[in-house]
Amino acid sequence: MKYFDDKHIKNIALLGSPKSGKTTLAETMLFEAGLISRRGTVEEKNTVSDYHSVEHERGSSVYTTLLHTEWRNYKINILDTPGLDDFVGEMISGVRVADTVVFLINGQHGVEVATGIQWEYVDQFRKPTLFVVNQLDHPKSDFDTSLASLRSKFGAAVTLMQYPVNEGPQFNAIIDLLKMTMYVFPEGGGKPEKKPIPASEQERANALHNELVEKAAENDESLMEQYFEKGTLDEDEMRKGLKIGMMKHEVFPVFCVSALQNMGSGRLMGFIDNVAPSAVDALPEHTADGKEIPHETKAPAEIFIYKTLQEPNLGRMSFFKVVTGEIKEGMELLNHQTGQVERVNQLFVIDGHKRDNVERLTAGDIGATLKLKNTSTNQTLSDRGVDDDVMPMKFPEPRIQTAIVAKNKSDEEKIGDVFHKLREEDPTITVQYSSELKQLLLGAQGELHLTVVKWILENVYNLHVDFVKPRIPYRETIQKESDAQYRHKKQSGGAGQFAEVFLKVGPYTEGAPNPTGVHVRERQLIDLEWGGKLEFFNCIVGGTIDARFIPSILKGVLEKMSNGPLTGSYIRDVRVIVYDGKMHPVDSNDIAFKLAGLNAFKNAFLTASPQLLEPVYDVEVNVPEDIMGEVMTDLQTRRAIIMGMEANGAYQVIKSRVPLAEMDRYTTSLQSITQGRASFSMKFADYAPVAMNLQLELQKELGEVAVEA
C-alpha cells in the first residue's frame, strides 16, 4: 500500500444534520478518486461507510466510520459521523482526531438544529472548518437562503468560494470564485468542463471575487501589503491567506456540491489538498495540564486511542491517531494509565469494513489495530520514556434513563459483561445499579440511542431485555417540629431486650442555633451520601441512657432515613434531639436501642408535617421561533416553570425548570412536536416540594400514609 508522509496526509470529519448527505459525499469522493468502481447508496445498503447491520436496519449512520481517499498525491482520511444528536459521542471522537471539519448543509433547509449542536464541539476544539451546501439539484434547494443562514449563525467568517448556476433539477454548473472559472458538469455528473464565466454572471462573480481577495489578504500582514501594492492577489497568495484564516478559525470557506449527482466533489477535494492543513500543519495535541504535543515525525512514537469496536470474529479493534513519531508492526508501547505494555501486532488502513494491512503509519495518520488487551478509548500508548498522555475526550452526561430487566433470569449474569463491551464502544452510555431505586439503570442520549442499544443487545449479543420506566429518586423531609417516644421491649425465655427513647425532630437549617430547653452534650453534623444533612444532638442528662448506646440510636435513625415512611425514599435535612429515655441493667443492648431510635424517629417524622421532595432539572430547549409556542405549551403540561428565553440566531432557547417525573420520553414528544427541528439539554438543579395532592397519591402507591399532624 502507498506510503504518505505527514505533509501529504489530510484528516477531515464530515458533519451535518441527518439527511444532509455525508455518507453519499464520502462515497462520491472515493469513486471520484477511483478507489471504488461503483458508487453505492444508502437506500441500497452498499456504501463503504454505514456498513454495520444496525445502520442498514435504520437507514442512517450510527457509528463514525473511518475511510480514506487519494487525490493528487494526497491521502485524505475521512471520518463519516452520524448526524443525530443521540450519537453525539461518535461525532466527538471523529472531530477530536480530524484536522479539518467539513460541515454539510442541506440546501433545502440551511443551518439546522443539529448543525448548531455539532458546532459547539467544533468551536471548542478550534478546528479549521469549511461548509459544503449539498443537494443543489433538489427542487426545493435555495442556496442564497442557506448562505444567509450560515452568515446569521457564524458571522463574517463565512467566506463564499463558489455559487451554483441553474440551481434545482437542472443544476449542472458552479462558478468558482478562487479560480474564476465556471465548471459545467455532464448529465449524471462526473468530470466537469471548464468554461469562461458567462457575461450574465461576470459582474456578480467579479464583485464576489474581490470580496474573497480581501478576505484572504486580511489574515496576514505581508499579504495585505501585497494587496495594497497590486490591488489584488494571485491564486497561490489567496490560498495562503485562506489557510491562515482557517487555522485562526476566522475563515469558513463555502462550497457547492450535489453529492448524489457527483458534481463538485473533485473541486472540494482539490481545495482540501491545497489549502486545508496537513498533519504537520495541524493544531498540536495537548496534555491534561495544557502542554502542547506537536505532530512531529522525528520524535518517539505516541498514539491516541479515539474509538473501540467489538468486531464479530475479530474481537476488539482499536482506532488511533499517530500523534508523534512513526508506528510500526511489532512495536511495544506503554500505557501509562494501566502500566501495561501493549504489542502492536498488526496495523491497518480502514475503509469501512475493509482492512488493508500496512507496515507503518506516520505522525498525523489514522489507522487501527487488533486485540490490545489492556487499552481502552481515551488512552495513550507511547514509547518508553514518553510520559505526556494526550488529554482525553469529554463526553456528555446521559439525557435519558431507563431501567433494564432481563427477560430470562439466566441472562442476568451476562448483562454486566455485555454492557462493559458496549461502554468500551460508546462512552456516552452509563450503566449502574441504584441501591436506592433497586433498579439497573441505563443512561443514554435519547430514545433512538436506547432503541439502537436494545437492537445491538438482541442481534449482536443475543441478550433479551425489557426497558421499563425508572423510578424517581424522591426525597422526604419535614416542615415543623415534633416529638415522640418509643419503648422496645422483648422477652423470650432468657435475656430480653429493653430500650426506651424520647426524641424531638425538626427541619435542619444551616446556621440555626442549638436547641433550647435541653442540655447539649454532643452535636454531630452528618453529610448524607444521598444529599442533605442530619444534625444529631445527644442531650441525655442524669445517665438515663448510657453514652455507649447513643451510637446505636443514631444508627437506627440513619437506617430509617434510608427508607422513609412516606414512599420509601431517602430522608434529608432533619434535626434530631435525643433528650431522655430508659434502660435496663440486664436487657438493654445495642439492638434494642437501635430499634427504639428507629421507631421513635419514624413516629416523630410522621407528625412533623412530612413533605415529599422531587428532583427538578434545568431544561433548555433550542427551538425555531415559529414553533416556540407549541413547545412552551407542552412544557407547561409537564409542570414546568418557564425561567426565560434568549435568542440563538434563528432559534430561541427556552429555559425552564421541570420535575424529573415529567421528563420521561420527552425526546420523543419534542421530536414529534417539532418534526425533529429542536433539541434540548437537562441538568439537575435541586429538590423541590411536591404538591400535596400528588404527594398523597405517591404515598398510596409507594409507601405508608402519613399520620395527620
Residue 309 and residue 429 in one domain: no
pLDDT band, very low/low/confident/very high, at 282 (cuts 50, 70, 90): confident
* Cα distance between residue 95 and residue 306, in whole Å: 10
User: At 303, is the secondary structure helix, strand, or coil?
Assistant: strand
Tens-place pLDDT, residues 336-376: 889 999 999 999 999 999 999 999 999 999 999 998 999 99
Tens-place pLDDT, residues 577-597: 999 999 999 899 999 999 999
Tens-place pLDDT, residues 96-142: 999 999 999 999 999 987 888 899 889 888 899 999 999 999 999 99
Candidates 358, 334, 364; CA nearest to 346 is: 358
* Cα distance between residue 127 and residue 38, in whole Å: 32
* Cα distance between residue 204 and residue 707, in whole Å: 81
Residue 534 and residue 602 in one domain: yes
Residues of 236-264 as b/e, b for ≥16 C-beta within 10 angstroms?
Answer: ebbbbbbbbbbbebebbbbbbbbbbbbbb
**pLDDT tops 60 at residue 709:** no
* Cα distance between residue 82 and residue 92, in whole Å: 10
CB 444 within 8 A of CB 564: no
pLDDT of the residue at 1: 65
Residue 214 lies in a domain: no
> pTM for the whole thing?
0.85
Residue written as grid cell 487501527:
368
pLDDT of the residue at 597: 97
Residue 628 and residue 603 in one domain: no
Q: How many residues does the chain have?
A: 709
pLDDT band, very low/low/confident/very high, at 560 (cuts 50, 70, 90): very high
Residue 654 and residue 510 in one domain: no
* Cα distance between residue 34 and residue 354, in whole Å: 16
- What is the widest separation between alpha-carbon atoms in the chain? 113
User: At 267, is the secondary structure helix, strand, or coil?
Assistant: helix
Residue written as grid cell 434513563:
401
User: At 381, is the secondary structure helix, strand, or coil?
Assistant: strand
E strand or H helix that includes residue 430: strand 430-434
User: At 675, is the secondary structure helix, strand, or coil?
Assistant: coil
The residue among 451, 468, 485 that closes a domain is 468
pLDDT band, very low/low/confident/very high, at 704 (cuts 50, 70, 90): low
Residue 283 lies in a domain: no
Residue 596 and residue 622 in one domain: no
Residue 709 lies in a domain: no
Residue 240 lies in a domain: no
Residue 673 phi/psi, 5-degree rounding, is: -65, -40
Mean pLDDT score across all residues of the chain: 92
**pLDDT tops 50 at residue 708:** no
Distance of CA 186 to the CA centre of its chain: 42
Residue 533 and residue 679 in one domain: no
pLDDT of the residue at 279: 81
- Domain of 696, CATH number, reads 3.30.70.240
Residue 445 lies in a domain: yes
550-561 helix and 590-606 helix, angle to the nearest 10 degrees: 50
Residue 602 and residue 622 in one domain: no
C-alpha cell at 220: 496576514
pLDDT band, very low/low/confident/very high, at 450 (cuts 50, 70, 90): very high
Residue 350 lies in a domain: yes
Residue 243 lies in a domain: no
Residue 307 and residue 363 in one domain: yes
- Domain of 547, CATH number, reads 3.30.230.10
- Domain of 460, CATH number, reads 3.30.70.870
For the residues 242-263, what does the mean pLDDT come to? 96
| 287 contact partners, CB below 8 Å, separation of at least 6 | 293, 388, 389, 390, 391
User: How many domains are there within the chain?
Assistant: 5
**pLDDT tops 60 at residue 40:** yes
- Domain of 14, CATH number, reads 3.40.50.300
For the residues 162-170, what does the mean pLDDT come to? 95
Residue 1 lies in a domain: no
Q: Point out which residues pair with 689 in neighbouring strands.
A: 613
Sign of the alpha-carbon dihedral angle for 432, 438, 439, 441: negative
Tens-place pLDDT, residues 666-697: 988 998 898 777 888 889 999 999 999 999 99
353: number of Cβ within 10 Å: 11
First to last CA, the chain: 82
Question: What is the Cβ-side half-sphere exposure of residue 371, based on CA atoms within 13 angstroms?
Answer: 9
For the residues 505-529, what does the mean pLDDT come to? 95
Residue 79 and residue 172 in one domain: yes
For the residues 457-467, what does the mean pLDDT come to? 93
Share above pLDDT 90 across residues of the chain, in percent, rounded to a whole number: 77
* Cα distance between residue 649 and residue 663, in whole Å: 26
**pLDDT tops 80 at residue 508:** yes
For the residues 189-206, what does the mean pLDDT come to? 95
pLDDT of the residue at 554: 98
* Cα distance between residue 258 and residue 167, in whole Å: 10
Residue 453 and residue 532 in one domain: no
For the residues 304-321, what does the mean pLDDT come to? 90
Candidates 91, 100, 95; CA nearest to 132 is: 100
Candidates 69, 75, 74, 84; CA nearest to 33 is: 69
Tens-place pLDDT, residues 613-625: 999 999 999 898 8
C-alpha cell at 308: 473501540
Q: Point out which residues pair with 307 in neighbouring strands.
A: 319
pLDDT of the residue at 65: 97
C-alpha cell at 558: 440513619
Candidates 142, 105, 120, 94; CA nearest to 20 is: 105
Tens-place pLDDT, residues 217-241: 998 899 999 999 999 999 999 999 9
Distance of CA 564 to the CA centre of its chain: 35
* Cα distance between residue 607 and residue 296, in whole Å: 71
3-state DSSP: the chain helix, strand, coil percent, rounded to 5? 30, 30, 40
* Cα distance between residue 542 and residue 301, in whole Å: 74
The residue among 608, 631, 662 that closes a domain is 608
pLDDT of the residue at 294: 86
Residue 333 and residue 266 in one domain: no
Distance of CA 431 to the CA centre of its chain: 15
The residue among 555, 584, 608 that closes a domain is 608
Residue 32 and residue 181 in one domain: yes
Range(s) of the domain holding residue 556: 476-608
Residues of 477-487 as b/e, b for ≥16 C-beta within 10 angstroms?
Answer: bbeebbbbbbe
| 299 contact partners, CB below 8 Å, separation of at least 6 | 324, 325, 363
**pLDDT tops 60 at residue 283:** yes
**pLDDT tops 90 at residue 474:** yes
